[in-house]
């Protein structure tokens, strides 16, 4: 058996519809190099979802030929909002619709079910941790980074000395809900966008799929009366197609993504003045497009990130790699960190 005698941690990325699972050994090697997905059964409520997570772990162990007795800890992530310890928000969460999820302690429930220590992070923090460790390798514990991940919402993570900054209530690093100035961002007559969180003009109100459907597309369609997307069945459906249009050079879609890139640059500027990180990582659908579009987008982000002269030569901008696996891998790294594993090339410190 290939995994015999090897100590491992398991990473479980628990999404609204699927779980992605991975295995990381104490030498810093991921034993899975592809997406290992299973249904998350989240919509059936916590009981079914916990069983699905247990099954996902057994499945990925079997796939990698790893005995269950080799597992020392499990990393778990979910979409937010949840507390630092994995209690799903009492107000509910978009991906956890069943009322039984409200205030449910998913970390403790999985700990009981598996009889193993479970380390919790939200999905954006997990992906940020992975991006950080991939980029910096053995230097990860001496470096800091800030990640923004554009999806349905705008996920973010702040890493200091190779560790996720969680904050007192687990709410640190929510850059998406910081208000930014709309100067130089909005077009003439464009209303100030409003976020689902209620704030006008925060990062997520511009740089998210939700923002395209709710704020940006309704305005830009009025400026492009002949655009094909007028014929879409609904705004959410049209919003999902904007990236493909942008990738093909469509002028309206490019205006929408230009505004998103400017918003991201403004958030990175706040980070530059707040934690002054070594690296700025960008992830999400926008970076899964063609290299040409991706390069155009990142150039606008950089142009609108105001760095001081001293910061320019010591900072880098990069993309979050392997985004579909970043959550599972990041949460496995977080679990490894609690065990004090510092494998060569993938140095992981204990949590703060
Ligand atoms: Zn917001």
Question: Is residue 344's pLDDT more than 70?
Answer: no
* CA 169 to ligand 1 center in whole angstroms: 17
Quick one: what percent of the chain has pLDDT higher than 90?
79
Q: Is 12 exposed, middle or buried (0-12, 13-18, 19+ CB in 10 A)?
A: buried
Is pLDDT above 80 for 3?
Answer: no
- Summarised one tens digit per residue, pLDDT across range 45-98 is 999 999 999 999 999 999 999 999 999 999 999 987 788 889 988 876 777 888
What is the Å distance from ligand 1's center to 197 Cα? 4
pLDDT of 171 > 90? The answer is no
| Higher pLDDT pick, 39 / 167 | 39
CA distance 152 to 210: 6
> Is the model more confident about 113 or about 27?
113
Rounded to the nearest whole angstrom, what is the distance from the C-alpha of residue 228 to the centroid of ligand 1?
30
SS3 183: coil
More confident residue, 344 or 111: 111
**Alpha carbon of 10 to ligand 1 centroid (Å):** 32
In this predicted structure, the answer to whether residue 210 has a pLDDT above a threshold of 70 is yes
Mean pLDDT of 316-329: 90
Check whether 116 has a pLDDT greater than 60: yes
Residue 236 scores a pLDDT above 50: yes
Q: 342 or 192: which carries more pLDDT confidence?
A: 192
The reported pTM is: 0.92
What's the whole-number mean pLDDT along residues 320-334? 91
Here the tokens at position 260 are 């998103």
Mean pLDDT over all residues of the chain? 92
Q: How far is the CA of 175 from the centre of ligand 1 (A)?
A: 9
What order of strands is seen across the sheet that includes strand 316-319? Answer: 163-164, 154-160, 145-150, 279-284, 316-319
What's the pLDDT score for residue 100? 93
Q: Is the pLDDT of residue 343 over 60?
A: no
Which band of pLDDT confidence, cut at 50, 70 and 90, is reported for residue 352? Answer: very low
Average pLDDT on 303-326 reads 93
Q: How far apart are the C-alpha atoms of 113 and 110, rounded to whole Å?
A: 5
pLDDT score at 345: 57
Average pLDDT over residues 264-293: 94
Confidence of residue 349 (pLDDT cuts 50, 70, 90): very low
pLDDT above 70 as % of the chain: 95
What is the CA(331)–ligand 1 centre distance, in A? 25
Q: How remote is the CA of residue 262 from the centroid of ligand 1, in Å?
A: 17
DSSP 218-240: HHHHHH-TT-GGGGSS-HHHHHH
Residue 211 CA to ligand 1 center (angstroms) comes to 10
Average pLDDT of the segment spanning 288-300: 93
What pLDDT, on a 0 to 100 scale, did the predictor assign at position 5? 55
Question: Tell me, what DSSP letter sits at residue 44?
Answer: G
């Amino acid at each position: 058996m290939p995994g015999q005698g090897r100590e491992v941690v398991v990473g479980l990325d628990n999404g609204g519809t699927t779980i992605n699972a991975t295995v990381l050994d104490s030498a810093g090697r991921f034993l899975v190099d592809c997406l290992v997905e299973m249904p998350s059964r989240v919509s059936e409520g916590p009981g079914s979802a916990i069983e699905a997570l247990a099954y996902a772990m057994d499945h990925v162990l079997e796939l990698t030929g790893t005995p269950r007795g080799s597992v020392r800890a499990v990393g778990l992530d979910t979409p937010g909002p949840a507390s630092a310890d994995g209690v799903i928000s009492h107000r509910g969460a978009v991906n956890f619709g069943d009322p039984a999820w409200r205030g449910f302690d998913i970390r403790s429930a999985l700990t009981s079910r598996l009889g193993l220590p479970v380390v919790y992070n939200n999905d954006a923090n997990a992906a940020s941790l992975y991006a950080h460790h991939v980029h910096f390798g053995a230097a990860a514990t001496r470096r800091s980074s800030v990640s923004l991940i554009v999806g349905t919402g705008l996920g973010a993570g702040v890493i200091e000395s190779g560790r996720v900054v969680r904050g007192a209530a687990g709410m640190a690093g929510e850059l998406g809900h910081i208000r930014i100035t709309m100067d130089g961002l909005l077009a003439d007559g464009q209303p100030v966008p409003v976020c689902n969180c209620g704030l006008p003009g925060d990062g997520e109100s511009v740089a998210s799929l939700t923002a395209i459907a709710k704020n940006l597309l309704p305005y830009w369609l009025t400026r492009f009366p002949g655009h094909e997307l007028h014929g879409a069945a609904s705004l959410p459906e049209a919003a999902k197609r904007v990236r493909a249009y942008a990738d093909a050079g469509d002028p309206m879609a490019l205006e929408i993504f230009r505004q998103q890139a400017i918003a991201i640059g403004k958030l990175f500027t706040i980070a530059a003045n707040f934690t002054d990180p070594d690296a700025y990582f960008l992830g999400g659908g926008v970076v899964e497009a063609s290299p040409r579009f991706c390069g155009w987008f990142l150039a606008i982000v950089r142009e609108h990130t105001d760095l001081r002269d001293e910061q320019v030569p010591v900072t880098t901008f990069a993309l979050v790699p392997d985004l579909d696996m970043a959550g599972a891998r990041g949460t496995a790294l977080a679990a490894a960190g609690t065990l004090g594993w510092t494998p060569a090339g993938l140095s992981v410190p204990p949590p703060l």
